[in-house]
Amino acid sequence: MIRFAPIAATLPASVPFVGPETLERRTGRPFAARLGANENGFGPSPRAVAAMQAAATDAWKYGDPTSFDLIDALAAHHGVQPGNIVVGEGIDGLLGLLVRLLVAPGDAVVTSDGAYPTFNFHVAGFGGTLHKVPYRNDAEDPQALLDRATETGARLVYLANPDNPMGSWHKGAVIQAMLDRMPEGALLVLDEAYAEFVPAESMPDIDPDDPRVIRMRTFSKAYGMAGARMGYAIGHPDLIAGFDRVRNHFGVNRTGQAGALAALADQDWLARVVTWVAAARDRIAAIAAHNGMTALPSATNFVAVDIGRDGAFARRLVDALATEGVFIRMPGVAPLNRCIRISCAPGPELDILAQALPRALKTL
């Protein structure tokens, strides 16, 4: 018999997401429009692609375990010291390392009910006790998170700005005020995966050496490199150094490092992508309105669309669109699950959505 460790033995053998590839295998055909995974369909910088192609010939070499060149470039880009930055296998990987580093079995962790489920997956995996607060007006509620953190003596408080799955965001002043009210001993985990898409005033002015917060960033969204698994965190040097205690030192691959370095250097491409994404958000909103639905304001590369019905109908609509060859997702918790979530993409894929959505609604 296989004997799992005590914590692992209590967990389900599942993953937080069902990938589009799994759904394609079930149906035996590819999706015509892949609009469900918050991927950047506009793709990475051509300079990043070239850098990864060149690095592929050196795939026989391990990647630099310190990510020295990339960390140096990121520090210059953000105006911080290299000691303020750690690179990891996407934000997902860094969240797992952070929980492992700071959360002992039974420690309280606070998040929002319906927020990014991979964080919850890591908390459960390392034996933390998860406490959830509801969204307020389709956005994460800083005051409720603070109140619950104070009540429970939380070690970590998770907040995404902008938010997934709703696309909502708080101004930087709100985040700074929240930080000033964090209970002693708690760390704010500020997930800024979509930071490149928000208005400038939504980014808080936080000292990189502030020990009360760690900020998570990624190359998966605006930089279009989700498959490369490249993320990084900005925080106090002592906390950042702590990652060396638990991280997989060869986990960040050589090709991804090269691509991220080239992508960071191509800010012109990033600016174009941000413009294209904004136009795609407008197009999705127009498609939604044409079908009697309401697009929620978004500062991300996806749009949450209120379908005006309940979660059961939203699930049926997601499934109906899948049969039309369109992959989308939806929030999993009421009342957020009255919405469907559609990723921004180039025009041809949104054309497919525009044609498929009324057909799917008709079948329902």
Are 149 and 181 within one domain? yes
C-alpha angle 143-208-205 in degrees, rounded to nearest 5:
55
Are 27 and 134 within one domain? no
Please give the pLDDT value at position 18.
85
Among residues 233, 266, 299, the one where a domain terminates is 266
Give the pLDDT band of residue 1 (cuts 50, 70, 90): confident
Are 13 and 150 within one domain? no
| Structural domain contains residue 81 | yes
List pLDDT tens digits, range 142-181.
999 999 999 999 999 999 999 999 999 999 999 999 999 9
Are 205 and 296 within one domain? no
Phi-psi bin for 103: left (phi > 0), alpha (psi -120 to 50), beta?
A: beta
Closest alpha carbon to 91 in 223, 185, 198: 223
Are 18 and 164 within one domain? no
Asked whether the beta carbons of 209 and 34 are under 8 A apart, the reply is: no
Domain span at residue 90 reads 46-266
Return the CATH number at 309. 3.90.1150.10
Among residues 197, 231, 266, the one where a domain terminates is 266
Look at the chain and report how many structural domains it folds into: 2
> What pTM did the predictor assign?
0.96
Are 58 and 16 within one domain? no
Tell me the pLDDT of the chain averaged across its residues: 97
Whole-number Cα distances in Å, 198 to 8, 157, 203, 275, 295: 38, 22, 8, 12, 17
Asked whether the beta carbons of 289 and 281 are under 8 A apart, the reply is: no
Please give the pLDDT value at position 14.
81
Are 22 and 55 within one domain? no
Are 246 and 326 within one domain? no
List pLDDT tens digits, range 26-61.
999 999 999 999 999 999 999 999 999 999 999 999
List pLDDT tens digits, range 279-322.
999 999 999 999 999 999 999 999 999 999 999 999 999 999 99
Residue 348 has pLDDT above 80, yes or no: yes
| Structural domain contains residue 33 | yes
